[in-house]
Amino acid sequence: MNNSGTPHQARKRFGQNFLHDAHVIERIVRAIAPQPEQTLVEIGPGLGAITAPLLEAAHKLHVIELDRDVIPHLQAHCAGRGELHIHQIDALKFDFAELAGGGRTLRVVGNLPYNISTPLMFHLLAYAPLIIDMHFMVQKEVALRMAAAPGADDYGRLSVMLQWRCAVDLLFSVGPGAFRPAPKVDSAFVRLRPHRAAPVQVNDERRFTELVNRAFSQRRKTLRNTLKDFLSEQEIRALGIDPGLRPEVLSLAQFALLANAAHPK
């Protein structure tokens, strides 16, 4: 049952798992600590489990919801709690700059569908200068990859690309029972804070992205093999990096060094 008392069937195509655990909801709202006058944006509010307390604290809230059938339930659940602005659109197609006019900055939150969590985070990184922070519920496996350090089993392309643009904090884990229907995996709540000053110097963002993607495309291969279209073995060694290393042991700073020295062959 949803919050209005009418049955609502979670839809697989939208990746819906509705949060219902009051203790988890309280922890989420406390971690976000919404304040009046802040421009808050919630992605995928569903039936409003997080929406209602966020709205009460912030007094105004923008929500982005693709499933038009949940919107009446959301409106009913949030009635009288504050100023709710509903954008019925795919978050991957939404222009977040629309909400940041007049010098406003955004705080973004969401219980993200597992099937779009990674592309959605990359979509939001394009708006990083407009965003104070982002708080997301994601699959725990994804959260571990987001926060992983060099040398860890979970360290990969997602780790490097996110940590280049944001500080990543894994806040707490959440079991399947906190959701209806219960997913088959654990979840985790994470915080992303876009860097105001870049942690490393990257001269060409496109080349950096291409090089990181190539390095992890065959992660069991060494740099001399995966990066041969960008740098020779001698050029890699001249940067103080062993060309016999695998990409999962390189730091963000080392990837930046490689990308800044890379040239198309």
Contact (CB, 8 A) for 124 and 134:
yes
Phi-psi region of 200 (alpha: psi -120 to 50; beta: other; left: phi over 0): beta
pLDDT in tens, 110-146: 998 888 899 999 999 999 999 999 999 999 999 999 9
Tokens of 18: 């509705």
**Domains assigned to the chain:** 12-194 (3.40.50.150), 205-261 (1.10.8.100)
Model confidence, pTM: 0.90
In the chain (265 residues long), the average pLDDT of successive 10-residue segments reads 41 63 96 95 93 96 93 93 96 96 92 89 95 97 97 96 97 95 93 96 96 93 96 97 97 98 83
C-alpha distances (whole Å) from 262 to each of 220, 229, 257 are 21, 9, 9
- The predicted-structure confidence for 64-104, as pLDDT tens digits, reads as follows 999 899 999 999 999 999 999 999 999 999 999 999 988 89
* CB-count burial class (<10 Å; 0-12, 13-18, 19+) for 92: middle
Considering Cα of 224, then 229, then 230, then 235, what sign does the dihedral take? positive
Give Cα separations from 118 to 27, 49, 114, 158, 220 (angstroms).
23, 23, 8, 8, 22
CB neighbours of 197 closer than 8 A, spacing ≥ 6?
none
Distance CA 259, CA 265 (A): 14
Neighbours of 182 (CB within 10 A): 11
Question: Identity (one letter) of the amino acid at 189?
Answer: F
